Structure 1
Amino acid sequence: MAALGTLLLLGLLLTAAPGLGQGPGRRRRPPPPQRPLEEVAAQEGLSLPELAGRWFLVGVASRCSYLAEHSHQLEATAVMVTVLDGQSLAISTFRKLDGMCWEIRQRYLPAQAHGCFLLKGRGYGNRVDVVVGETDHSHYAILYYQTGRSISIKLYGRSSQVSNAVVDKFEQRVKAMGLSEDVIYYFPTYGFCDSADEFHILDETKP
């Protein structure tokens, strides 16, 4: 069970609370406030069919302390997006844990506005709000995730490497949300998994 918990955290499809990993009584200066996710507009003209297909997780910005302490363990991560019923997204994330390829299955349910989604699952108690903030569908996508008061931002690419202009754009979006470059982590560009056997599938879509 501990390994599955680690898989969820390192898979980075969820946002962990900023205080995760801090001992009781340990005090830190509060970080600058973040803009609420409600202020983030979804991509205009977003086409879900064009969003489908394979993506690579290029980078993530998050104040998650677990991520900061274990950033040396980041593995190349690929995502397969499938559109369901024209509104929901089926997400399969492929990454390694202890040298084995795992698949994490999740579903993004439609929220109030187009381009906004709700993520629920058995492995976490809080709902996760997701916004597709920016994408050109064919090269990159920037997604925002919020659980409780914690926000993370992720950069995906159709290839494992994106242009410097896209990286600059991502870092600008990160700063605009009140996060610093110190909490940006970039993922390996090699060693991707294409599939996982039936014994290494974590299906978060089941009740």
Structure 2
Amino acid sequence: MAALGTLLLLGLLLTAPPALGQSPGRQRRPPPAQSPLEKVAAQEELSLPQLAGRWFLVGVASRCSYLAEHSHQLEATTVTVTILEGQSLAISTFRKLDGMCWEIRQRYLPTQARGRFLLKGRGYGSKVDVVVGETDYSTYAILYYQKGRSISVKLYGRTSRVSDAVAEKFEQRVRAVGLNEDVTYYFPQYGFCDSADEFHILDETKP
């Protein structure tokens, strides 16, 4: 089970959960600060059918401590996006763990705002907000993920390589949310998994 937990963490590559809030008291609490993701604009007129298909995970920016400690062990990762009824996204992530190909199945549920989704994992505090920030559908896509008040940014490409212009655009978006090159990591461009057998599937869509 420890390996499955590690696999899910590697699949998400998200920052740590939020710290526990202060003990309740009678004092009036100040209004909550604006969520980092509220400042991020979603792709205008997002076309979900054009977003479907296979993507390669090119880079990620995150303050995730696990990612920082194991950045030298990053594995080539692909994502397949399928559009379901109700405009939710079925996400299948393929990557290796201990030399074996695994598939992680997740579902991004639509919210009232176009381009914004909710990923619900198992257990308390596992809710992740997702924003499709920018894409041209045929070359690249930049997605934002927020868990608690921690934000991360991912760059996907239709191929494992993106142009210098796209990489620079990604790094600009990273800096705009308060991250930098010190917490930006790029993934290998070889050793991809195309599938996983039934014994190596982690299905996060099941209750």
Length-normalised TM-score, structure 1: 0.89
Residue 65 of structure 1 corresponds to 65
Offset at residue 86 of structure 1 (A):
4.9
SS of alignment partner, residue 68 of structure 1: helix
Is it true that 1:152 corresponds to 2:140 in the alignment?
no
In 2, the alpha carbon distance for the partners of 1:147 and 1:19 equals 7
Residue 16 of structure 1 corresponds to 15
In 1, the alpha carbon distance for the partners of 2:189 and 2:55 equals 12
Contact 2:141 2:155 in 1 (8 A): yes
Q: Give CA deviations for 1:4-42 in whole Å, capped at 9, x if unaligned.
A: 11111112x25231899xxxxxxxxxxxxx971011110
Offset at residue 121 of structure 1 (A):
1.5
Contact 1:81 1:92 in 2 (8 A): yes
SS of alignment partner, residue 14 of structure 2: coil
The aligned runs of 1:128-147 (5 Å cut-off) are 128-147=128-147
Residue 44 of structure 2 corresponds to 44
Q: CA 1:60 to 1:124, structure 2 compared with 1: closer, same or farther past 3 Å?
A: farther
Q: Give CA deviations for 1:106-130 in whole Å, capped at 9, x if unaligned.
A: 0000012000000002166331000
Residue 164 of structure 1 corresponds to 164
Residue 206 of structure 1 corresponds to 206
Amino acid at match of 1:200: H
Residue 28 of structure 2 corresponds to none
Q: CA 1:205 to 1:3, structure 2 compared with 1: closer, same or farther past 3 Å?
A: same
Length-normalised TM-score, structure 2: 0.89
In 2, the alpha carbon distance for the partners of 1:19 and 1:119 equals 16
In 1, the alpha carbon distance for the partners of 2:114 and 2:35 equals 20
* Residues paired across the two proteins, number: 194
Q: CA 1:185 to 1:17, structure 2 compared with 1: closer, same or farther past 3 Å?
A: same
Contact 2:58 2:155 in 1 (8 A): yes
Q: CA 1:96 to 1:77, structure 2 compared with 1: closer, same or farther past 3 Å?
A: same
Q: CA 1:136 to 1:146, structure 2 compared with 1: closer, same or farther past 3 Å?
A: same
Is it true that 1:111 corresponds to 2:88 in the alignment?
no
Q: CA 1:102 to 1:124, structure 2 compared with 1: closer, same or farther past 3 Å?
A: farther
Is it true that 1:96 corresponds to 2:89 in the alignment?
no
Gaps of 5+ in 2: 20-33
SS of alignment partner, residue 81 of structure 1: strand
In 2, the alpha carbon distance for the partners of 1:169 and 1:77 equals 21
In 2, the alpha carbon distance for the partners of 1:162 and 1:142 equals 12
Larger radius of gyration: 2
In 2, the alpha carbon distance for the partners of 1:6 and 1:200 equals 13
Q: CA RMSD in A?
A: 1.9
Q: Identity over the aligned pairs, expressed in percent?
A: 84
Q: CA 1:123 to 1:184, structure 2 compared with 1: closer, same or farther past 3 Å?
A: farther
After TM superposition, the runs of 4+ consecutive aligned structure 1 residues lying more than 2 A away are: 123-126
Q: CA 1:123 to 1:76, structure 2 compared with 1: closer, same or farther past 3 Å?
A: farther
Is it true that 1:56 corresponds to 2:56 in the alignment?
yes
